[in-house]
Structure 1
Amino acid sequence: MFRKIMILVDEHPQSQTAIAQGVEVARTHGAHVVFLHLPPAYAFPMADMPGGGMAAFAAQSAEEFEQQTQATAADLLQSAEAEARSAGVASVGAIGPGDASVDYVVEALTNRGCDLVVVASSGSNAVVRLLTGDIIPGLISRSPVPVLICPLPT
């Protein structure tokens, strides 16, 4: 039924649940997996200064941030690909841009020919997910393929 499955991967522990369940679905269906990591966008830090003025300070430069996020992404994707390999599932990893949105994921699903997307749920309610920028509400309403939402095991 499924031939190519996209699994969204991040550094949160619940992502491991999505990886495990997505790889199992792929193994069962003989599907290939595309692991997609969406790194956070760089945010230039601002702080209040004495006297009521705002001043910018760089806790981490954009270059340092980019190096760190690329290293984190590489580690996460290598780990996910190793799990797929141990299950006998062919996979590839990809890194999206730091400002990726639901639009980017929908486009990636279409461009890569995926017929299922697997994403982890933090377990928070829909209002919290909307307020925190969680991608799940947008995927549910805009994905061209089925969305498998994996909650944390209880």
Structure 2
Amino acid sequence: MYKHVLISTDGSEVAQKGVDQGLALAKTLGARVTLITVTEPFPMYASAAGGWIPAEMGTYDETQKEYADRVLGAVRQAAQTAGVSVETLHVPNAQPAETIIETAKSRGCDLIVMASHGRRGLGRLLLGSQTSEVLSHSSVPVLVVR
């Protein structure tokens, strides 16, 4: 059925549910896994355009890479323990939904697995939903875990 599963994580507790289900499914199917985490660009505010650069900007990329390495390393270990073939991928300075969709296409994944916080109404509007974006625009099937 599915031979190559793309699992997305941001390292959150909610995302871990998607990771766990994705790894279990991949093991059952004998599928290989590409695990992706995407870190967004440093948030630039109007004041930054006026010449003020926050101190955090200088270490942002390094901090995001360290965090992604920890997240991906933990899942890599879990996948290896479960006997699932996994490749990890960190894509920095990108928009998560677009990157997840493009990665699934470019790597020949036939299923995307990701979790959803299940926010509705104003919370979803204010916080956005990467899962909703992927569902809306992906030509690859998406399994959403809650």
TM-score (normalizing by structure 1): 0.84
Q: Structure 2: how far apart are the matches of 1:94 and 1:129?
A: 27
Shift of 1:126: 6.0
Could you report, residue by residue, the CA deviation over 1:36-78 in whole angstroms, capped at 9, with x for unpaired residues? 001132124567xxxxxx883514133x111100000001001
Describe the shift of the 1:133–1:98 C-alpha distance in structure 2 as closer, same or farther (beyond 3 A): farther
The secondary structure found in structure 1 opposite 2:33 is strand
- Aligned residue pairs total 144
Greater fraction of residues in helix: 2
Q: Cα RMSD (Å) of the superposition?
A: 2.0
For residue 92 of structure 1, what is the amino acid of its counterpart?
E
Q: Structure 2: how far apart are the matches of 1:9 and 1:101?
A: 10
Q: Which runs of 4+ in 1 moved over 6 A?
A: none
Task: Please tell me whether the aligned partners of residues 126 and 137 of structure 1 are also in contact (alpha carbons under 8 angstroms).
Answer: no
Which 10-residue stretch deviates more, 117-126 or 80-89?
117-126
Task: Please tell me whether the aligned partners of residues 34 and 94 of structure 1 are also in contact (alpha carbons under 8 angstroms).
Answer: yes
Task: Please tell me whether the aligned partners of residues 10 and 38 of structure 1 are also in contact (alpha carbons under 8 angstroms).
Answer: yes
Greater Rg over alpha carbons, structure:
1
Task: Please tell me whether the aligned partners of residues 44 and 58 of structure 1 are also in contact (alpha carbons under 8 angstroms).
Answer: no
Structure 2 residue 141 is the aligned partner of structure 1 residue 146? yes
Residue segments in structure 2 that go unaligned for 5+ positions in a row: none
Describe the shift of the 1:126–1:30 C-alpha distance in structure 2 as closer, same or farther (beyond 3 A): farther
Q: Structure 2: how far apart are the matches of 1:82 and 1:129?
A: 32
Query: Which of 83, 103, 122 lines up with 1:88 in the alignment?
Result: 83
Task: Please tell me whether the aligned partners of residues 46 and 57 of structure 1 are also in contact (alpha carbons under 8 angstroms).
Answer: no
TM-score (normalizing by structure 2): 0.88
